[in-house]
Amino acid sequence: MEHLLELIRYYPKGSNALRELFKYFQNKAIVIPKYRTLQDIFSKAFSAEEVRLNNIISSIPENIKQQLQEVTNNSETIKQLSIIRCNQKDFQYTAVMLEIKKAQELAELYQFCKSFIPQLGISKNSIRFCEVLK
């Protein structure tokens, strides 16, 4: 169970975690449990991981929660986030000022996320998987 909890942090898809669990069983010469037992173990592990993540997420300050809510609910903001990833067209004053404004609007959120995401203790693959789910 402990090993499965570690695997779930790094392999968000159950099938990948199961594959890695089978490798673990093989390396440790452990007999593979019945299908129903595996289902129960995975259910408990996913529930425990959800509780762990919910406890961490509940510690997010209210102002950050509001900003995150605004970003996720506003499709225009999501478009702006995509635009930020693109290079600006030129170095004219208005273009540079627009880029500065975008960066300032997201600075607090960025700084928070930069320190918060590593606290989750999940892999980059898991973070990407969560982005795909949205």
Q: What is the pLDDT of residue 54?
A: 92
Q: What is the pLDDT of residue 16?
A: 92
Q: What is the pLDDT of residue 93?
A: 83
CA dist 4 and 85 (Å) reads 36
Q: What is the pLDDT of residue 131?
A: 55
Query: Is the domain of 90 the same as that of 53?
Result: no
Reduced to 3 states (helix: H, G, I; strand: E, B; else coil), residue 56 is: helix
CA-wise closest residue to 126 among 21, 94, 118? 118
Tokens for 16?
């990948």
Last residue of a domain, one of 14, 29, 57: 57
Per-residue pLDDT of the chain (134 residues; tens, 9 = 90+): 899 999 998 888 889 999 999 999 999 999 999 999 999 999 999 999 999 999 998 999 998 888 888 777 776 666 666 666 666 667 788 878 877 887 787 788 888 888 888 888 888 777 765 555 44
The single residue listed with the structure tokens 């509001």 is 66
Q: What is the pLDDT of residue 73?
A: 78
Query: Is the domain of 46 the same as that of 80?
Result: no
Tokens for 123?
């892999």
- The DSSP symbol for 26 reads H
Residues of the domain holding 105: 62-133
Last residue of a domain, one of 27, 57, 87: 57
Give this prediction's pTM: 0.68
Structural domains counted in the chain: 2
CA dist 88 and 42 (Å) reads 47
Query: Based on the number of CB atoms within 10 Å of its own CB, is 62 exposed (0-12), middle (13-18) or buried (19 or more)?
Result: exposed
